[in-house]
Amino acid sequence: MRVVIVEDNVLLSSGLELLLAAKGFEVAAVARDAPGFLAAVAEHRPDVTIVDVRLPPTFKDEGIHAALQARSLHQDLPVLVLSQYVEREYARELLSDGRGGIGYLLKDRVGRVAEFTDALRRVAAGGTAMDPQVVSQLLLSRDPLAELTPREQEVLALMAEGHDNTTVADRLAITLNAVHKHIGNIFAKLGLSPTDSGHRRVQAVLAYLNR
Amino acid sequence: MRERWTQTRRSAGYLLVSLVTAVATLVALPLLVWPSKARAWAHWHRRRAGRLLGVPVPARPTPPHGEPRDGWEIRTAPATRRGLLWLPTHLLTGLPFGLAALLCLGNVFTGLWAMALWWALPAEAIPTLQGEIPVDDWATALTAAPLQVVVLAALFWWGGPPLARAHARICLRVLSLSEAQQLTQRVEVLTRTRAGALDSHAAELRRIERDLHDGVQARLVATAIRLGVARDALDEAPEGVTELMREAHEGIEEAMTELRNVLRTAYPPILADRGLDGALSALAAGCGVPTRVHVEDLGKVPAAVEAVAYFVVAEALTNTAKHGRATRAEVRVRQTGTGLSLQITDDGVGGADETLGTGLAGIRRRVLALDGDVLITSPQGGPTMIEVEVPCG
């Protein structure tokens, strides 16, 4: 799987290269800023991209803009955005085009190699990967969620992170049937019609939460 | 005794110089009515008077760099008025006081001179003592002349220093600020330095946030990645090594979390990235209650003030979502003449109590730290309104 990275900090980009090489990914290019990233994407047509939020020249949220721009230029380009802090607002913007293949994780998560590469593959396959912190920020802010049982909240949180039903069942040590039942209840309580696609479920949840 | 001698000598100098400057004032009057000249002239006198009385005199305020000259002239108008008032005052006091000193001391010298040298002078230049007494024989030279010297010297010894001090006091009285003016000036100085302190505080906050982000945080992440890769590659490790690496990895993850929390509470990163407007919109978008944000075009707001505004709105909206049972909330931010004004309203049930819970108390604490004001109105049944004003400098 070919990856293009944009990360201005050499320490971090070399760490990412090391990790990706060890796990069998091919790093096609490492860009240092947004224009370099767009050029590298056009040149290498990667399977997935990894984007840092703070990039030169202003070190603000260039990465978010670069990710959105790349996705508007290259239909369905999978982008995993990494940041040293997560903001619900950025998640909303990244998800706003309503397409899959998007991830938004804290850089802390990269050290969890298996989980990180899992998330990267999920994004590359058109799914989503939301940092648990984004999800918890979302869940905290919405009162109607209080109607959900604690178990349903757990299921919703895992769904929002982008996990499929099997993983949710594994994580919570419950049966797949139980997961289906919980999801049905959640959608019913939140007034959403159930679907099975991982990222569409997240979008539905986020769209509702950010209404 | 010696001290008294010094005092008398200094008083003599002071009074004689006062006489000279009083005459100079009279001569240079057309020049001295120019405001800046009047202020400088007055200040010179004030320093002299201060030195004589042993009273500290503040340095002359200089126009702050970059301030328009007109504004400065207006603000120093009281000083100019005092400087102009000093001109006649000095003429009325410096001339007579200085003349008295000159007469007194001059005649002491005449006496001394007559006593010692009367015989050496030609007849037409014979010195005369007070009372038209010519000194033309030794009898007068050794009686009347020493008498004049002793009497006048004693007179100056006794009267000179109080006279000099009186002039100096009048000078300070005329030229010193009134208490209200002193306070006004103090407030002006404090306001200026406070704005400077806020600015440098803001710059520091941003620098620390950036340094930690680029340095410590990046290094922690890079280390965590390497540890993660190493753990992943570690199939058959000796007893305990896997456990130690897991602990090290978790330690680093905790450090990253703690560091992020510290940064978030000191200076929220989204403020650095999006500015106050963007950060508040993000807060509103994430609030459970539909919230409208109106931010007027803000000028330069110190980062410390922005951070407080952000925390106040975050706290207020959290309260609204948690307890207010509101259906709508509104945030208004605008710049007033002196600072930043925030108004957060919701249509909830009201009854917010500062003594319960830490949210409102936290708002008050943060705002007061920047010398701001908080007004919370939340009657039972609502609506709740939190108004905050934070000075920007």
Strand residue runs (E) in chain B: 128-129, 133-134, 291-295, 329-335, 339-346, 373-377, 384-391
Q: What is the pLDDT of residue A79?
A: 94
**Is B244 at the interface with chain A, CB within 8 A?**
no
Residue A210 to residue B285, Cβ atoms within 8 A: yes
Residues B155-175: what's their mean pLDDT? Answer: 84
Q: Going by C-beta distance under 8 Å and a sequence separation of 6 or more, which residues neighbour residue A127?
A: A100, A101, A162, A198, A199
Which of A11, A96, A147 to mutate against chain B (most B CBs within 10 Å)? A11
**Is B321 at the interface with chain A, CB within 8 A?**
yes
Size of chain B in residues: 393
The predicted-structure confidence for B296-310, as pLDDT tens digits, reads as follows: 888 888 888 898 999
For tokens 């330095």, what's the residue? B193
Say if residue B160's pLDDT is above 50: yes
The chain A residue lying nearest B211, using CA atoms, is A59
Question: How far is residue B182 from each of residues B59, B175, B230, B296, measured CA to CA in Å?
Answer: 13, 12, 69, 37
Find which of A118-122, A150-154, A182-186 is predicted with most confidence, using mean pLDDT.
A118-122
Scanning B77-178, the segments in alpha helix (DSSP H) are: 77-117, 138-175
Q: What is the mean pLDDT of chain A?
A: 85
Q: How confident is the model at residue A210 (pLDDT cuts 50, 70, 90)?
A: low
Say if residue A207's pLDDT is above 60: no
Task: Answer with the residue of higher pLDDT: B57 or B341.
Answer: B341
The predicted-structure confidence for B262-275, as pLDDT tens digits, reads as follows: 888 888 888 888 88
Ramachandran category for residue A20: left, alpha or beta (phi over 0 → left; psi -120 to 50 → alpha):
alpha
CB pairs under 8 A between A and B: 99
Q: Which two tokens stand for residue B234?
A: 């570690």
Q: What is the pLDDT of residue B222?
A: 94
- B121 Cα distance to chain centroid: 65
3-class secondary-structure state, position B280: helix
Say if residue A128's pLDDT is above 60: yes
Q: Which residue, A115, A130, A117, A100, is CA-closest to A197?
A: A100
Contact between B344 and B314 (Cβ < 8 Å): no
Domain ranges within chain B, ordered by starting residue: 2-176, 194-266, 274-391
At residue B335, φ and ψ (nearest 5 deg) are -95, 130
Q: What is the pLDDT of residue A196?
A: 47
Q: How confident is the model at residue B256 (pLDDT cuts 50, 70, 90)?
A: very high
The predicted-structure confidence for A11-38, as pLDDT tens digits, reads as follows: 999 999 999 999 999 999 999 999 999 9
Say if residue A6's pLDDT is above 80: yes
One DSSP character per residue, A27-70 reads EEEEESSHHHHHHHHHHH--SEEEEESS-TTTTSSHHHHHHHHH
For tokens 């040298």, what's the residue? B117
- Distance of alpha carbon B82 from alpha carbon B93, whole angstroms: 16
CATH superfamily of B274-391: Histidine kinase-like ATPase, C-terminal domain (3.30.565.10)
Angle (deg, nearest 10), helices A165-172 and A176-190: 110
One DSSP character per residue, A102-165 reads EEEEEGGGGGSHHHHHHHHHHHHTT-EEE-HHHHHHHHHH-GGGGGS-HHHHHHHHHHHHT--H
**Is B280 at the interface with chain A, CB within 8 A?**
no
Residues B77-98: what's their mean pLDDT? Answer: 82
Q: Which two tokens stand for residue B338?
A: 């002196």
Residue B213 to residue A54, Cβ atoms within 8 A: yes
- B123 Cα distance to chain centroid: 68
B331 strand-pairing partners: B293, B344
Which of B229, B235, B315, B328 to mutate against chain A (most A CBs within 10 Å)? B229
Q: What is the pLDDT of residue B257?
A: 92
The predicted-structure confidence for A155-198, as pLDDT tens digits, reads as follows: 888 887 878 889 999 999 999 988 988 888 877 776 665 454 55
The chain B residue lying nearest A111, using CA atoms, is B225
Q: What is the mean pLDDT of chain B?
A: 83
Euclidean distance between the first and final Cα of chain B, in Å? 55
**Complete domains list, chain A, with CATH:** 2-133 (3.40.50.2300), 142-210 (1.10.10.10)
Q: How confident is the model at residue A40 (pLDDT cuts 50, 70, 90)?
A: very high
Which of A60, A89, A205, A208 to mutate against chain B (most B CBs within 10 Å)? A89
Q: How confident is the model at residue A211 (pLDDT cuts 50, 70, 90)?
A: very low
ipTM of the complex: 0.79
B330 strand-pairing partners: B292, B345
Q: What is the pLDDT of residue B318?
A: 87
Amino acid at the residue A91? A
Q: Going by C-beta distance under 8 Å and a sequence separation of 6 or more, which residues neighbour residue B318?
A: B287, B359
User: In the β-sheet with B384-391, what is the strand arrangement from edge to edge?
Assistant: B291-295, B329-335, B339-346, B384-391, B373-377
Say if residue B74's pLDDT is above 70: no
The chain A residue lying nearest B324, using CA atoms, is A143
Q: Which two tokens stand for residue B366?
A: 């943060």
Exposed / middle / buried, residue A168 (Cβ in 10 Å: 0-12, 13-18, 19+) = buried
- Distance of alpha carbon A51 from alpha carbon A141, whole angstroms: 27
Q: With contacts defined as CB-CB under 8 Å, which chain B residues touch A138?
A: 286
Task: Answer with the residue of higher pLDDT: A99 or A35.
Answer: A35
